[in-house]
Amino acid sequence: MRIDFTKMHGLGNDFVVLDARNPALAQALPAMDAAFAAALADRHTGIGCDQLILLEPSRAGDFRMRIFNADGSEVEACGNATRAVGLLHGAPARIETLGGLLCATPTNAGISVEMGQPRFDWDAIPLAYAMDTHTMPLAWEDLTNPIAVNVGNPHAIFFVADPYAVDMARLGPLIETDPVFPERVNVNVAAITARDAITLRVWERGAGLTRACGTGACATAVGAMKRGLVERAVTVSLPGGELAIEWREDGEIVMTGPATESFRGSFDPVDYGIPAGSPD
Ligand SMILES: N[C@@H](CCC[C@H](N)C(=O)O)C(=O)O
């Protein structure tokens, strides 16, 4: 049996969405593992995407969203995909993720998502320094003094003069896989251009340089607010376009921006070496 998919993107950060709420599709879909997710995400031999999104039934929310990076790793959060599935749903949705329950609402300005409250895990790193248990420096060449913000998934943010002057293709993977980040990390380089504006590029954990990263925009905005560099509402400009990020007084981060459906299609799992309906 062929399996239907929807190809979507948020500011050019692109997704293959499989809707396993549909019982026929759920039955035909092989168990999702890293190898299968990576095969579908491959831009040369698969459908191609930055993240594979699997929608499943949920007791906690309207549905559950599972997120797989292009390298097959399953992760906790994806801001752009949350807007994309919010668009697909077409009405306010409570979306269960590994990173928490998120609320997506269609508005005139795009899809607005309550992304939850940030955690500042960086405190753990200076503690390691104080106890002299660290092994790595907090600087990677010219990238120094990052702030780490967890918005369901982990981000390290470096404030620089010009994000486009940073050699992300080289430094991104170096920092992503540095042992100082046991779960690897999304690497953000950002410039503050006004009290309400940030320019950002993101090397995504498990996906590389993407045109936009919703959680990266949230983490960077909140990191900049925590350092007193910007006000509580900012526009974040990424290579693929702009997101509005607000850190409300109640602690909730709200991200608003566009989402787009590109096309629909179907594939045969046999082409990925997996017999249809196989439990493996
Ligand atoms: N593109 C995403 C983030 C996807 C997950 C990330 N690469 C990770 O490994 O945490 C977004 O829009 O937030």
Per-residue pLDDT of the chain (280 residues; tens, 9 = 90+): 899 999 999 999 999 999 999 888 888 887 889 999 999 999 999 999 999 999 999 999 999 999 999 999 999 999 999 999 999 999 999 999 999 999 999 999 999 999 999 998 666 666 666 666 666 567 899 999 888 899 999 999 999 999 999 999 999 999 999 888 888 999 999 999 999 999 999 999 999 999 999 999 999 999 999 999 999 999 999 999 999 999 999 999 999 999 999 999 999 988 887 765 544 4
As for the ipTM of the complex, it is 0.99
Same domain? 198 vs 265: no
Residue 280 forms part of a structural domain: no
Instruction: Compute the distance between CA of residue 165 and CA of residue 17 in angstroms, rounded to an integer.
Output: 34
What distance in angstroms lies between residue 132's CA and the mean position of ligand 1's atoms? Answer: 32
Same domain? 126 vs 244: yes
Specify the amino acid at residue 6. T
186 marked ligand binding residue? yes
Residue 158 forms part of a structural domain: yes
What distance in angstroms lies between residue 255's CA and the mean position of ligand 1's atoms? Answer: 14
Q: Domain containing 61: what range?
A: 3-115+260-270
Q: Whose CA is nearest to atom 10 of ligand 1?
A: 153
Burial of 2 per CB tally in 10 Å (0-12, 13-18, 19+): middle
What distance in angstroms lies between residue 130's CA and the mean position of ligand 1's atoms? Answer: 31
pLDDT confidence of residue 133: 67
Residue 276 forms part of a structural domain: no
- Concerning whether 78 is annotated as a catalytic residue, the answer is yes
pLDDT confidence of residue 16: 98
* 8 A C-beta contact, residue 5 and residue 253: no
Same domain? 79 vs 129: no
Which residues does 191 contact at the CB level (< 8 Å), separation at least 6?
159, 160, 161, 162, 163, 198, 199
User: What is the bridge-based pairing of β-strands 186-194 and 154-159?
Assistant: parallel
Residue 229 forms part of a structural domain: yes
Closest CA to 262 of 84, 64, 24, 75: 84
Same domain? 144 vs 181: yes
**Ligand 1 neighbours (beta carbon < 6 A):** 13, 50-51, 69, 75, 78-80, 153, 186, 204-207, 210, 213-215
214 marked ligand binding residue? yes
Instruction: Compute the distance between CA of residue 94 and CA of residue 275 in angstroms, rounded to an integer.
Output: 34
Out of 15, 16, 75, mutate this one to test ligand 1's pocket (max ligand atoms within 8 Å of CB): namely: 75
Same domain? 125 vs 246: yes
205 marked ligand binding residue? yes
Same domain? 61 vs 175: no
Same domain? 241 vs 150: yes
Out of 65, 113, 115, 215, mutate this one to test ligand 1's pocket (max ligand atoms within 8 Å of CB): namely: 215
Residue 72 forms part of a structural domain: yes
User: What is the bridge-based pairing of β-strands 253-257 and 260-267?
Assistant: unpaired
Residue 230 forms part of a structural domain: yes
Q: Whose CA is nearest to atom 1 of ligand 1?
A: 213
- Concerning whether 213 is annotated as a catalytic residue, the answer is yes
- Phi first, then psi: give them for residue 245, nearest 5 degrees: -125, 130
Q: For residue 13, give the ligand 1 atom closest to its CA.
A: 1
pLDDT confidence of residue 151: 96
- Rounded CA Rg of the chain: 19
pLDDT confidence of residue 279: 45
pLDDT confidence of residue 280: 42
80 marked ligand binding residue? yes
Residue 181 forms part of a structural domain: yes
Alpha helical stretches, state H, the chain: 23-28, 34-41, 79-89, 124-130, 168-176, 214-226
- Match 């919703």 to its residue by tokens: 214
What distance in angstroms lies between residue 95's CA and the mean position of ligand 1's atoms? Answer: 16
Same domain? 169 vs 217: yes
pLDDT confidence of residue 131: 67
Q: Whose CA is nearest to atom 4 of ligand 1?
A: 78
- The total number of structural domains in the chain stands at 2
- Reading the block at residue 251, the tokens are 């602690």
Same domain? 180 vs 109: no
Same domain? 170 vs 230: yes
Same domain? 97 vs 14: yes
Same domain? 101 vs 184: no
List the CATH number of the domain containing 164: 3.10.310.10
Quick one: angle between helices 214-226 and 79-89, nearest 10? 130
Residue 190 forms part of a structural domain: yes
What distance in angstroms lies between residue 15's CA and the mean position of ligand 1's atoms? Answer: 11
27 marked ligand binding residue? no
Give the active site residue among 49, 103, 213, 218: 213
